[in-house]
Structure 1
Amino acid sequence: MSKRIINKVAVIGSGIMGSGIACHFANIGVEVLLLDIVPRELTDAEKAKGLTLEDKIVRNRLVNTSLQTALKSKPSPIYHQKFASRITTGNLEDDIAKVADVDWIIEVVVERLDIKKQVLESLDKHRKPGTLITSNTSGIPIKFMSEGRSDDFQKHFCGTHFFNPARYLKLFEIIPGPKTSQEVLDFLNGYGEQFLGKTSVVAKDTPAFIGNRIGIFGIQSLFHQVKDLGLTIEEVDKLTGPVIGRPKSATFRTVDVVGLDTLVHVANGIYDNCPDDEAHELFKLPNFINTMMENKWLGSKTGQGFYKKIKGDDGKSEILSLDLDTLEYRKKKSAKFATLELTKTVDKVIDRFPILIAGKDKAGDFYRKNFAAMFAYVSNRIPEITDELYKIDDAMKAGFGWEHGPFQIWDAIGVEKGLDIMKTEGYEPAAWVNDMLASGSKAFYTVKDGATYFYDIPSKSQTKVPGQDAFIILDNIRKSKEVFKNSGVVIEDLGDGILNCEFQSKMNTIGGDVLAGLNKAVDLAEKDFQGLVVGNQAANFSVGANIGMIFMMAVEQEYDELNMAIKMFQETMMRMRYSAIPTVAAPHGMTLGGGCELSLHADKVVAAAETYIGLVEFGVGVIPGGGGSKEMALRASDQFHKGDVKLNVLQEYFMTIGMAKVSTSAYEAFDLGILQKGKDVVVVNKERQIATAKAYAKLMAEQGYTKPIRRKDVKVLGKQALGMFLVGTDAMEASKYISEHDQKIANKLAYVMAGGDLSEPTLVSEDYLLDLEREAFLSLCTERKTLERIQHMLKTGKPLRN
């Protein structure tokens, strides 16, 4: 079999989805040709300029406008704006012949079979044999699209369904046509996972495939239950949000974001094309949905849906909710349930499900009805939409942002307990579930030797989930490979002489227990191992230091203890840099404050592409005190070259801290000087991150790692830099750009990064800078306004400007 390499793709159709897919291929370094139709009429602006329909700027107007709109959207579809240069635009009349030069053509035109067939026929004439050609349809049967096409086309054609937004949602459904070759399916499955960073799921060619079939069932089920149980939309969103491991937007807010018309389109498609579905009538739209469609209350795109944002008389924005009985908007109501209160102390979502289904209030009724319906539905979809149950879980987690799939939730409740609930609620599971219990398997999943196994229905046995060999799943090895544990960390043996230190605190904050665990990890690694990875697989790497602990010490004026705590933080970070073994940090998601400082001090960073990293301490009224201020001064010093304006270099690093800049991707972190070119690396698939970090730690150890020598050659600029910074902050405060307290914090940072008020540029040690940093941090902790900022952050999760 010849090796297939993707250097260039063509994306046909530049709407939200097409532009998003084009941007994601550009994200991973692939050259993209983005094509769309030629406009048939001139705009008034074009007429005023004297342009004609033959001018190239007019002919490419639709594609260029769509791409520019996408690039300006938030959240951004692209890791770094400079990656947009990898995308070339064109139109389907002048540029279609260029598809002969690409390795993969992806059709993303409007969801109409007649139009798709027309476009595919045209592409068939121009593509070279062997080129992959796929359709990003969300529900049109693949078999209809490839009818009448050449044999080579049909062999290389299938569905590749990206979920919107393509950068952020991980599901990549691959749907074979009648003649798709196995080589093509295998290639796309591997490419989606390794290069695009997706969860690849091969689905059957059934209506809405896997993700939308189950997801739309879940939403439709809620639409019918909400009135039966007398729940408000706020109550449903409270019950179906983070408490059960779903996104904050939960159900109704998600529909508003996606668009009610999109949901209705898919639901109608399932209703029309799945007459034998036992839940067929559930896909019929309730009356309130029909009314909303008639009123064009489609969600964010029309300014109102289940929620509506208005401006009050005082000019402040307010969110109103739709009353489903009266179909009138009203003030939002708070939603509280006794059952949810019982889960507040249960950190792990998976451990909450047995509590939720045992609830004695309306919430308990809701969960029993909801899960009973879902369990019955997913069990009956096998083998219709897929033969393997794990694919349904993968699709829901990757496509809808669920932390746990339906079969994992059923396992958490207990398979037999789930059957009892179903029976009470009047649902019937598929026969294979009872067969599974009869065969001796009491769960859908088991873990053995660090790998996940699933119940395979045909063989009636637990079978290893394929594709895990490239991953290290910490949940699977934590118990069997644990070397040390305290209340803040678990240290696991990853094999090959490499340890992993995994944070276990709330939001992975760094307090005394985590620092003790990090020091223990370095001790163990230096004594008996070859290297250390600091990584976890929670939603976020770390949101920083435990500011609650800092606040308590500062309020009690326990300044000696606070000084010792900061010193311990600094020394722990320095141990990451100056230990006898290589240390690798694996940040992902939010990596803020102390989490960023830890990454700054590791020998190497293996960052997930979706890493939002920055030194944000200004938001709570202090400067980075765990070595971050010192490190930025050191990195500026290393950037000083002969002939440079050194003040400009230092100012860039100062502004990174002073403006609390946070990267919107790992690639932006290189611009901020937080990640370093030639040293740190980025992985697109977060699932591969720990395994990749381990491989780098092992390689560094095998190459003969030598303990670095602590630096005494950091060039600081003294009064020259300090004067510039003080003049700058004075001007900013005078023009009301920053507050008086902002200025005080900025001046403290300036003092540290300038190396104090030395009379001339001087070489100093890291320890000298750490002492300045700690002194500045401590002095700010004595300020009332700093304590107000910390308290506000602890209460609201938002920064206070005072």
Structure 2
Amino acid sequence: MTAIKKAAVIGAGVMGAGIAAHIANAGVPVVLLDIVPKGAENRNALAEGAVQKMLKTKPKSFMHPSRAKLVTTGNLEDDLGQLADVDWIVEAVIENLDIKRRLYATLDEVRKPGSIVSSNTSTIPLGLLVEDRSAAFKGDFLITHFFNPPRYMRLLELVAGPETRPDAVETIRAFGDHALGKGVVDCKDTPGFIANRIGTFWMQAAVTEAMDRKLDVEAVDALLSKPVGIPKTGVFGLIDLVGLDLMPHVAASMKATLPADDAYHAIYRDSDLFRKMIAEGYTGRKGKGGFYRRRKDGGQTVQEALDLSTGEYRAKRKPDLASIRAGAKDLRALVSHEDAGGAYAWAVISAALSYTADLVGVIADEVPAIDEAMRLGYGWKYGPFELIDRMGAGWFADRLTAEGRKVPEILAAVAGNGTGRFYRVSDGVLEFATRAGGYAPVPVPEGVLRLSDVKRRSKRVDGNGSASLWDLGDGVLCLEFHTKMNAIDPGVLEMVAKSTEIVRGGYKALVVYNEADNFSVGANVGLALFASNIAAWDMIDGMIRMGQEAYKALKYAPFPVVGAPAGMALGGGCEILLHCDAVQAHAETYMGLVEVGVGVVPGWGGCKELLFRWMANKRRPGGPMPAVGQVFEMVSTAKVSESADEARDMLLLLDRDRITMNRDRVLADAKARALELAEGYQKPEAAEISLPGPSARVALEMAVDGFFQQGKATPHDVVVSGALARVLSGGDTDITETLREDDVTRLEREAFISLLKTPATLARIEHMLETGKPLRN
């Protein structure tokens, strides 16, 4: 199996450029080529412009600006020679069969023998793409269908032809998994492959039923989002996101390539309203608006939604349907509800799930691949067959029968097999219903360790309602948070403290990890607000001390502690990572000390640990003031890294810390790192620090006052920053004195409590709890 040491992408459009950027994110050099624009002075303008655009886009395509240096730009007339030494060429040009075929003929003349060529097509069958190519080219060719944006969407659909070399498939599978962090799903060579075949049907059914039933777009998106485990954009919000103008192209492709008896043809409906919207530029977020839009009215932003009946915009309104409330916890209750929302939800969901069940064996060999594709490609919390399990396969089949509708063969088999589920747990192993009948273990890629699997086959070592300890084997325990948003509360802190004693009693190491969307959003500020409102200052002081002592105990435990975050690691969640011996971070980890957003300062050692890190940074100028200033700027602005790579720049991650591209591999990598550190482990020495004292505090306060005078800081920003300045400058110390860690954490604690006593901080906390957004007061 050949390693991918250099790659190329042909086509610098949104997808091609994004794929090139993500290959660069993996640390692999990549050549990006496009056509020469007519009349352009710069023959590389398209590729160069794409790279510059990606450096500015939000969300960012590059995990770190330095990754752009790995992209070499050029054009298809002058720079084909750059393809002579690449291992993988990705074609991402327009969805036109003739253009792709001509390109392949050109590539075949310049590529090195055995280099892999793949297409990012989402609609054209592989057989048609290589119909006139040589046997050698067919052996090196496959389809690698990325989802947009390539950095963030985890699905990579892999389609091999009958003549594709198995080792070429395995090379791309391994690279996609380990280097690009993708969930690689094998698909059949059928129109739309897996995710778009189902997703296109799903959206078309939802739109057609909504227009026939004259439902509000807000009601549709509320019904077909959270109750079903689908992103909050729902259907119409998703179309606005991807662009309404894309829909006719997708529909045309599906109609042209799907079998004549495919159910998609029966639900497709052409729309004069949609044609009119596209013609007038109402294509969604990239246009003047779509099904939703925002406009200014007297200096105020007004949110509007499109009335599907009239084609006119009106004020956006919150839907009031009993079925939405019923479906909040029970999917069957949603689709069984007798109101208009329940009838609509059943019509769409039953059609889409029945359609999907009929495609098992057609678009993928077995059920898990289909569920995985929809979770990773469309962001669904549950795959189609997991949704059927939530309602009950028997109940679902019985209702289809009662309505005189066809029951798909695999659904009928599962409904009548005595289990009535597509998934079951047997002897601690998750199994799926196979096409052949019976059950088989859900495939797990080699080297992947999932906490969910550990939890199925074992009992927790210890735990409470907020956190649990699990045995990963080989002497390593895992501390898992499981509060809402993994907020740190006294229960979590209790288990942090308890875990040090348990590991000390006969284990080698501890990993701090969970499988939630976010590692931790920080402290449970609702508890702080409650305690402040009843003036329970001793209780607050106790909780801060509890966190400081628990985190310090982790830092100085006689065994290694490895933090393994993914998603957001904010506030107290970031602070626990700062106290770990090492961090094994997922590439998409967003770290920061954001406490100023709720009017307080980091209170569990975050200020202390960042000060130590910046003082020890060999790249900083001499003296303590540059380090103090750097930490002050980061914390006072609540700066959050936009990747694990960026966290290194902020010293939230250090050279000893490592990054894993594939989220499914974080736990296994963290366990391996913990065992590596356990060999001859020595706990760190107690740390001391010298800080500049009041003169530094005054300088920091003057800087903040300048921002206030310019209107860049609010009155309470000044108050919070003043408290932070006192902590970071060391209080009443001076540079000749030495401070211990406990001296700095005492300053953190004093500042935290003093700020909680201000009405402005309480207002910030209340606003954050109510809206999820910071208050600028």
For normalisation by structure 1, the TM-score amounts to 0.94
Secondary structure at 1:34 match in 2: strand
1:204-256 deviation digits (Å, cap 9, x = unpaired) = 11111111000000000101111333321001111122333221222111111
2:682 is aligned to 706
2:539 is aligned to 561
1:45 is aligned to none
Query: How much has 1:413 moved relative to structure 2?
Result: 1.5
Cα distance in 2 for residues equivalent to 1:669 and 1:641: 16
2:212 is aligned to 228
Select which of 258, 267, 289 maps to 1:304. Answer: 289
Cα distance in 1 for residues equivalent to 2:756 and 2:6: 54
Query: How much has 1:373 moved relative to structure 2?
Result: 1.1
Cα distance in 2 for residues equivalent to 1:198 and 1:450: 26
Cα distance in 2 for residues equivalent to 1:91 and 1:140: 25
1:518 is aligned to 496
Native 8 Å contact 1:637 1:715 kept in 2: no
1:717 matched to 2:707: no
1:684 is aligned to 661
1:47 is aligned to none
Match for 1:581: what amino acid?
A: F
Aligned positions of 1:633-672 closer than 5 A: 633-639=611-617, 644-672=622-650
Secondary structure at 2:19 match in 1: helix
Cα distance in 1 for residues equivalent to 2:300 and 2:415: 57
Query: How much has 1:575 moved relative to structure 2?
Result: 1.7
Query: How much has 1:647 moved relative to structure 2?
Result: 1.5
Native 8 Å contact 1:640 1:646 kept in 2: no
1:50 is aligned to none
Query: How much has 1:333 moved relative to structure 2?
Result: 1.4
1:69-104 deviation digits (Å, cap 9, x = unpaired) = 222111011101111000010000000121111000
1:414 is aligned to 392
2:351 is aligned to 373
1:214 matched to 2:183: no
1:27 is aligned to 25
Select which of 454, 463, 470 maps to 1:477. Answer: 454
Match for 2:575: what amino acid?
A: E
2:156 is aligned to 172
Native 8 Å contact 1:14 1:36 kept in 2: yes
Cα distance in 2 for residues equivalent to 1:6 and 1:754: 49
Aligned positions of 1:240-389 closer than 5 A: 240-274=224-258, 275-313=260-298, 315-342=299-326, 346=329, 352-389=330-367
Query: How much has 1:643 moved relative to structure 2?
Result: 6.6
Cα distance in 2 for residues equivalent to 1:503 and 1:700: 23
Cα distance in 2 for residues equivalent to 1:516 and 1:284: 58
Change (3 A) 1:95 1:105: same
2:425 is aligned to 447
Change (3 A) 1:582 1:360: farther
Cα distance in 2 for residues equivalent to 1:379 and 1:648: 62
Q: Which runs of 5+ in 1 are unaligned?
A: 43-52, 347-351
Select which of 462, 477, 489 maps to 1:499. Answer: 477
Query: How much has 1:724 moved relative to structure 2?
Result: 2.2
Native 8 Å contact 1:515 1:572 kept in 2: yes
Select which of 3, 14, 17 maps to 2:15. Answer: 17
Match for 2:36: what amino acid?
A: V
Secondary structure at 1:288 match in 2: helix
1:143-167 deviation digits (Å, cap 9, x = unpaired) = 1111222221110101110011000
Cα distance in 1 for residues equivalent to 2:461 and 2:313: 56
Change (3 A) 1:285 1:391: farther
Match for 1:271: what amino acid?
A: K
Cα distance in 2 for residues equivalent to 1:191 and 1:735: 50
2:44 is aligned to 60
Between 632-641 and 770-779, the greater mean CA deviation after superposition = 632-641
Cα distance in 1 for residues equivalent to 2:254 and 2:716: 59
Native 8 Å contact 2:624 2:691 kept in 1: no
Change (3 A) 1:680 1:730: same
Match for 2:9: what amino acid?
A: V
Native 8 Å contact 2:227 2:331 kept in 1: no
Between 563-572 and 737-746, the greater mean CA deviation after superposition = 737-746
| Aligned-residue RMSD, C-alpha | 1.8
Change (3 A) 1:646 1:123: same
Query: How much has 1:645 moved relative to structure 2?
Result: 4.5
Between 446-455 and 377-386, the greater mean CA deviation after superposition = 446-455
Native 8 Å contact 1:554 1:782 kept in 2: yes
Select which of 600, 610, 613 maps to 1:622. Answer: 600
Cα distance in 1 for residues equivalent to 2:262 and 2:50: 38
Query: How much has 1:365 moved relative to structure 2?
Result: 2.3
2:670 is aligned to 693
Native 8 Å contact 2:35 2:76 kept in 1: yes
Match for 2:224: what amino acid?
A: T
Secondary structure at 2:9 match in 1: strand
Secondary structure at 1:602 match in 2: coil
Match for 1:453: what amino acid?
A: E
Q: Which runs of 5+ in 2 are unaligned?
A: none
Cα distance in 2 for residues equivalent to 1:90 and 1:162: 22
Match for 2:112: what amino acid?
A: K
Cα distance in 2 for residues equivalent to 1:207 and 1:782: 62
Match for 2:598: what amino acid?
A: V
Cα distance in 2 for residues equivalent to 1:642 and 1:32: 33
1:727 matched to 2:727: no
Native 8 Å contact 1:447 1:476 kept in 2: no
Secondary structure at 2:690 match in 1: strand
